[in-house]
Amino acid sequence: MTVISVLSLKGGVGKTSYALGIAGAALKRGLSVLVIDLDPQGNASSILRSRKRSHSAATVLGHPTADTLRESISKTAWTGGPGSVDVLTSDPELIRHDSWTGSRRFVPKLARALKRLEGYDLVIIDCPPSLGALTREALAASDLAVVVTTPSYFGAQGAERAIDEINEIRATVNPDLEFAGIVLNRLREKTDEHRYRKRELVEIHGSGVLLKPTLPERVALQQAESTGEPIQAVKSAGARDISKVLDKHLNKLLKMAKRTETDAST
């Protein structure tokens, strides 16, 4: 079971869209997927149109056991492939678990609950756009971390801070965590500012840090979100463009996870 955290430190960059896009690509491929919505806004939970449950991600963080986790997972309305997508839904109560001052020792809870979870090929964690305890919980439980940003000044700043957080978690509580790369979202190659920001990211982090291909700006993503379906189910040229990129990204992420697992075993 591969666990991937999708994070950003700036709202509105398409973090949730990317997380669900990867889930949709995995669904189409026949994988069994669990989406964990740790963002108190709950956008991923809404788009997935999950069945109502009395438990949520906040319940699991309050009682981090495998049994509580299994009882809290909901089925979703997503179909369209041989695989399946379940969700651990968000809850406004999650905000109570996001307090982090850095003055106390961080003891991961989500990782403890996930340790004995079975039945899934892929777990995707949608993090909140902040560096509180919830993002730390996600990174502590993950094999890979993906940073989503847009070609903007503040987007580049957020990506840099997110990478610093990944490195800190790897150095302190999760040595197996690997930074998978930066997803540059909503890129318009014909725009001078976007090309400049893309070069800036490469200059700061290196050419290998960007997950390629980059994601172009397409209205199909908003269409998919408004109807609560995978981008792969939208019948348009823009949706096909995005789906092809997401499928290539999924390939790369699964290969990274497999390589990491092999390195750990040797």
Q: Are 188 and 194 in contact (CB under 8 A)?
A: yes
For 198-240, the pLDDT digits (tens) are: 888 888 888 789 999 989 888 898 889 888 999 999 999 999 9
Model's pTM, two decimal places? 0.93
Give the Å distances, CA to CA, from 211 to 37, 71, 112, 198, 239. Answer: 23, 35, 30, 12, 19
For residue 133, give the nearest of 97, 170, 172, 173 by alpha carbon.
Answer: 97
Residues with Cβ within 8 Å of residue 3, at least 6 apart in sequence: 114, 123, 125, 141, 142, 143, 144
Q: Are 167 and 156 in contact (CB under 8 A)?
A: no
Residue 179 confidence class, pLDDT cut points 50, 70, 90 = very high
Q: Are 228 and 49 in contact (CB under 8 A)?
A: yes
Number of structural domains (the chain) is 1
Give the per-residue pLDDT at 156.
77
For 7-36, the pLDDT digits (tens) are: 988 788 889 999 999 999 999 999 999 999
CATH number at residue 132: 3.40.50.300
Give the per-residue pLDDT at 262.
67
Q: Which of 66-75, 108-117, 148-157 shows the lowest mean pLDDT across its residues?
A: 148-157
CA-CA-CA-CA torsion for 242, 243, 247, 253, nearest 10 degrees?
Answer: 50
Query: What is the span of the domain harbouring residue 218?
Result: 2-97+106-265
For residue 33, give the nearest of 143, 141, 146, 123 by alpha carbon.
Answer: 123
pLDDT, mean of residues 167-173: 94
Residues with Cβ within 8 Å of residue 240, at least 6 apart in sequence: none
Give the Å distances, CA to CA, from 152 to 107, 160, 187, 217. Answer: 34, 13, 10, 14
Beta carbons within 10 angstroms of residue 19's beta carbon = 27
